[in-house]
Structure 1
Amino acid sequence: MPNKILCVAEKPSIARAVAGHLSGGQQSVVSFAPLDISIFVKNFDFHYNFPPPWGSCQVTMTSVIGHTVEWDFTKDYQKWNSCEPHHLFDAPTEKTVGDRKDIAENIKTEARCSRALFIWTDCDREGEYIGTEVRDIARTVNPNIEVKRARFSNIERAHILRAAQHPVELDERQAQAVAARIELDLRIGAAFTRWQTKLLQSIEGLEQKVISYGSCQFPTLGFVVDRYRRVKNFVPEQFWSIKVMHKRDDINVTFNWDRNRLFDRMMVIVLFEKCLQAKKARVTKVQKKPTKKWKPLPLTTVELQKLGSRFLHITSQEVMSIAEKLYTNGFISYPRTETDQFDPGMDLRALCEKQTQSPTWGPFAQNLLNGAFESPRNGRNNDKAHPPIHPVTYVTPNALANQNERRVYEFIARRFLACCSSDAVGEQSTVDIQYGPEGFHASGLRVIARNYLDVYVYDKWESSQPLPQFIEGEEFVPTEANITDGKTTPPGFLTEPELIALMDANGIGTDATMADHIAKIKDRGYVFTRVRAGGDQQASGMEEFAPSNLGSALVEGYDQIGFENSVSKPFLRKEMEEKMKKICEGQMERHDVVHSTIEQYREMFLRAKQQSRLLKDITSRYLTDDGV
């Protein structure tokens, strides 16, 4: 067996970058009979000195393009009318290479004469599973090929060289968790999709429409519908409050009622009259105390999606697409991570130094190096695979393709520098008064040191008008006192950051898939979006979600069928995700997870089928009567 090692990355751009680092630029490039799907896949040949026992080796670096193997039912079950939909819960399945035969053949060709296979897929669950796909393809022609994986979270040269010198084993547990999820999504999605499509296709407007189902998409849709119902069914209530104002040193100080507001007008009038009868207010407490606005935690994928939508007004799907491109170009670390704490061994100052080149935030980075650097806060999450998202090099705006790429990169850079800075420091002043039987309070803020706020322009913390001097125990006659009134207002429709937060809290999808689930319910016509106007300045301009009539009908129908265990609720999918984690931790086996989860969804399927008339009637009502 020749001393050759085959290296396979998850995407062509990573293969090119890794080959460039390992070869020192001394590689030959070979294209292999490119078909449409593999036109960007190339083989890079070079020599590299691996650690023992391999030593100096001939290397071929190539890639796949994501998944190479497809998982589907056998041919007897692939046609929609081949069986009853509920049979798909148990129907035989098979793995095939499908449209990626040329990529698989390339792996086989190179693996035949290779001593070892190094997997360079992304270091997450999906990457581990794709790595096992590559391994299994290679072993069809070389059963004894040794398999290792390179662990890396960015494509800086030093990081890549370290990964090549310290290979590890593929994580079979993570791969098995993904395999379980793929099988469950196939069986559950196909069974419900075929059944509900056939059931509803007789309704006008749905004759040619596929009413698809996904165990993540439906709970995501359920969140949108739930908020829509709260808005639609909201009944405003009148409330009353008492406000006291006192002018001192030409400053109008507003004292807010400790009770905030009451919904009983006569009670407010009685309390207000007692305040007036007292004539004077007495200062019960004057306090000045230091306060801080904490700098942000290191950046995770979920936070990047939420804040990209909130601050940059870019959809979470586009944010992730841009972040992936920035990563493959070597500009940022791996953008799919749950970790919000930096490893103590990371040289964060060196990363700060690279940002000193920026004409915009470079002076702030330089100040950190001059002594203002402070270690980042530690969050509670560490996936043990990737560090928080951070810039690995400075990138000039001209090197980025468009304005949105520049804005996402700038946000990541500013967030990282803010993490390495100090909390903002201020002084909070509070004056409490007693006016008759009621308590009131006024407060003011003086920002003393902005610190991280100077670079993290997305956070706001401003000094208020200073409070004049009050002395504890003094009495004064308020300049003005009156009763105010108002009405409660409904919540707004869900914005994308709010929807992502709900998905994250309820275990719907992973940090890497949430944006895709949101995009799918939009593409399928279950929800539509519009731009929010007015209200909160930060929320204004963001997309907000409302369900279509079809989306509302599906959720209401399944809710009435399933009640608290409806497939539009997050509980079943959350339990499934928790089982996936247990596979990764070695507490459950893939077969047991698949079996137990299938039985849960089978029960819901049979219940839905027994009450199919209910779902059909509700859908028909929504679509023909423009909803209810």
Structure 2
Amino acid sequence: MKLVVSEKNIAAKRIAEILAVGKPKSDKVGATAVYRFRRDGEDWVSIGLKGHILGVDFPLKLAYGDRGWESVWPDDRTAPASIPEALPVPPWESRSKPFLASGIDLKPWKVASLPYLVWAPVGKSPAEVEIVRSLKKLAKEADEVIIATDFDREGELIGSDAKGLVREVAKAVTVRRARFSAITKDEIERAFSELTEVDEDLAEAGGSRQDIDLVWGAVLTRFLTMAKYAGFGNVRSAGRVQTPTLALVVEREQERDRFEPETYWQVKARFAAGDGADEADAFGGGHATDRFKAEADAEAVMAAVEGHDTGTVTSVDRTQRRVPPPTPFNTTALQAAAAAEGMSPARTMRVAETLYMNGYISYPRVDNTVYPPSLDLTGILHTLADVPVYAGYVRGLLHAGALTPTRGKQETTDHPPIHPTGAGDPDKLKPEEWKLYNLVARRFMATLSGAATIEGTKVAIDVNGQPFVARGDVLVEPGFRAIYPYGLKKDETLPALAEADTVAFLGAELLEKQTEPPKRYSQGALIQE
């Protein structure tokens, strides 16, 4: 029997459906769902974990004896512990907690135990006891075990932990690794035909992060909590990501507190081509001095233009600028773009995970912003052509010649940037799933498109010696903007005007404003920091 170990139950089910000859049979081993199927004349079983099935923690206590310090774990096993010689050893002057006759108790939240907790070893124990039991039972029956967890640091660590548990009960069984970036038939079939080994170096990188989270979070959280209970401080929790993020928010808030607003004045005006009878020809402008620091200067402008109903165009300048297409999505860019569309980063990742598991997009937790040469860009476009709303644009891309995608600054080799892997159907996907899929699909097509061209027009108008300026932008060559409208400003069209033309002056308005402090971080802006 071949045993496939996935990170989650839904992945185990999807992989079984892809690999099976016929339909997989749902079953249970203990309380854990599994999927049994036949392939290549053999019995296969697919089991899903619940992420990390082994949890990390500190020992119950540190014991000191003839062999020095040892850690003592819940199952009564002991292991050497490297505690600095500078820290005191038993016998203690105090007999109260956390001090024990032979060592120190690490479970009570006591200030005296913190110096020892910092140096205490980190160990692992089952966090999902039933799944661990089921995995070991199946491993005893297996001829080969295939680790099919996500291919990133966390997934490799989960796979390595699963491999270790398998080895506890089946030391000689072959354990291989399937690596894939999308849960689609082609990708899964390729991954299972090119099995490799678990990358223990990558797993150790994930383990180091896990250990740092525990040491930083547990020790500092205990200290800060006890400081609060002691009557000072108002922070109770700390973490490797949480604390630096909090610092960014606090620094921005301090900037806002220190900010002193300054008052300024603006003169805004309305104009119209011709005699101004047609409101469709009206357009706005402002005095050439954008901000007046003295109200009297702004009032002088108002007095100068009062009673006048025409202005003269003194110059018309037109310039064009090219806006390059966006780079491929990595996780941070996806979260930022989705946040601009009203989806929180946390919600974005939950929906992205669902789309990934159901074969609509590639693996969503990536740093890479460069498509690898092996990615079949043309094949993905053919897939998107099955989505009616994209079909016409896809045909244009395919007929335009060789595809030249944009490249971001971050290039890694574990996963390609986030891209569509299946044809989404708005009638079958939930609204938020379609919203995110549509964003990913349109971004992918945008990265294969040309630049957009925007024509900017600046019109200078004189009203009784006072200079005013009107500006407009028009998208003259859509380029990638034809498929990727996100963040696109509405055209600000000015009527056709030439130097020396007379325009109707419809009046001016004096506005009093104040400078504003730096904005608070939005969720999208914060993750980009």
* TM-score when normalising by structure 2: 0.77
Find 1:159's aligned residue among 187, 199, 207: 187
Residues 89-109 of structure 1: CA distance to partner in whole angstroms, max 9, x if unpaired?
1013321113x2332233333
Q: Counterparts of 1:354 and 1:194 in 2: how far apart (Å)?
A: 53
| 2:23 is equivalent to residue 21 of structure 1 | no
User: Any idea what SS the aligned residue of 1:397 has?
Assistant: coil
What is aligned with 1:220? 245
The structure with more helix, counted as a fraction of residues: 1
Q: Counterparts of 2:502 and 2:431 in 1: how far apart (Å)?
A: 57
User: Any idea what SS the aligned residue of 1:140 has?
Assistant: helix
Find 1:68's aligned residue among 14, 36, 53: 53
Counterpart of 2:420, as a letter, is P
Residues 15-71 of structure 1: CA distance to partner in whole angstroms, max 9, x if unpaired?
22222222233655442011xxx3xx31434334xxxxxxx8654332322111111
How far the C-alpha of 1:303 sits from its partner, in A, is 2.0
Identity %: 27
Residues 126-168 of structure 1: CA distance to partner in whole angstroms, max 9, x if unpaired?
0111111011111222334443321101111111111111223
User: Any idea what SS the aligned residue of 2:5 has?
Assistant: strand
Find 1:322's aligned residue among 336, 351, 358: 351
Residues 187-225 of structure 1: CA distance to partner in whole angstroms, max 9, x if unpaired?
12111111222221265999xxx9222121122222333
User: Any idea what SS the aligned residue of 1:84 has?
Assistant: helix
Retained in 1: the 8 A contact 2:405–2:447?
yes
Residues 380-413 of structure 1: CA distance to partner in whole angstroms, max 9, x if unpaired?
122311122222112323433x432232223223
| 2:116 is equivalent to residue 94 of structure 1 | no
Retained in 1: the 8 A contact 2:316–2:497?
no
What is aligned with 2:36? 44
User: Any idea what SS the aligned residue of 1:429 has?
Assistant: strand
Counterpart of 1:379, as a letter, is G
Alignment of 1:40-189 (within 5 A): 41-48=33-40, 58-76=43-61, 77-81=105-109, 84-98=113-127, 100-189=128-217
Give the length in aligned residue pairs.
475
Which has the greater radius of gyration? 2
Counterpart of 1:19, as a letter, is A
What is aligned with 1:493? 520
Q: Counterparts of 2:125 and 2:284 in 1: how far apart (Å)?
A: 71
Compared CA separation, residues 345 and 275, structure 1 to 2 (3 A): farther
Q: Any gaps of 5 or more consecutive residues in structure 2? A: 62-104
Q: Counterparts of 2:525 and 2:24 in 1: how far apart (Å)?
A: 48
Counterpart of 1:129, as a letter, is L
How far the C-alpha of 1:351 sits from its partner, in A, is 2.2
| 2:337 is equivalent to residue 310 of structure 1 | no
| 2:324 is equivalent to residue 294 of structure 1 | yes
Retained in 2: the 8 A contact 1:16–1:44?
no
User: Any idea what SS the aligned residue of 2:169 has?
Assistant: coil
Q: Counterparts of 2:233 and 2:410 in 1: how far apart (Å)?
A: 47
Retained in 1: the 8 A contact 2:149–2:155?
yes
User: Any idea what SS the aligned residue of 1:399 has?
Assistant: coil
Q: Counterparts of 2:435 and 2:291 in 1: how far apart (Å)?
A: 42
What is aligned with 1:621? none
Q: Counterparts of 2:503 and 2:3 in 1: how far apart (Å)?
A: 85
Q: Counterparts of 1:273 and 1:29 in 2: how far apart (Å)?
A: 83
User: Any idea what SS the aligned residue of 2:475 has?
Assistant: strand
Find 1:393's aligned residue among 399, 413, 422: 422
Of residues 449-458 and 437-446 in structure 1, the stretch that sits farther from structure 2 once superposed is 437-446
How far the C-alpha of 1:365 sits from its partner, in A, is 3.5
Of residues 291-300 and 378-387 in structure 1, the stretch that sits farther from structure 2 once superposed is 291-300
Find 2:224's aligned residue among 193, 196, 212: 196
Question: What is the Cα-based RMSD across aligned positions, in Å?
Answer: 3.8
Retained in 2: the 8 A contact 1:444–1:467?
no
Retained in 1: the 8 A contact 2:224–2:233?
no
How far the C-alpha of 1:372 sits from its partner, in A, is 8.5
Q: Counterparts of 1:439 and 1:406 in 2: how far apart (Å)?
A: 50
Retained in 2: the 8 A contact 1:447–1:462?
no
Residues 550-594 of structure 1: CA distance to partner in whole angstroms, max 9, x if unpaired?
xxxxxxxxxxxxxxxxxxxxxxxxxxxxxxxxxxxxxxxxxxxxx
Q: Counterparts of 2:451 and 2:215 in 1: how far apart (Å)?
A: 50
Retained in 2: the 8 A contact 1:272–1:483?
yes
What is aligned with 1:211? 236
Q: Any gaps of 5 or more consecutive residues in structure 1? A: 49-55, 503-628
Q: Counterparts of 2:317 and 2:198 in 1: how far apart (Å)?
A: 59
* TM-score when normalising by structure 1: 0.66
What is aligned with 1:9? 6
Q: Counterparts of 1:195 and 1:9 in 2: how far apart (Å)?
A: 38
Alignment of 1:203-602 (within 5 A): 211-240=236-265, 249=274, 250=276, 260-261=290-291, 263=293, 283=314, 286-311=316-341, 313-371=342-400, 374-400=403-429, 402-431=430-459, 442-471=470-499, 485-502=512-529
The structure with more strand, counted as a fraction of residues: 2
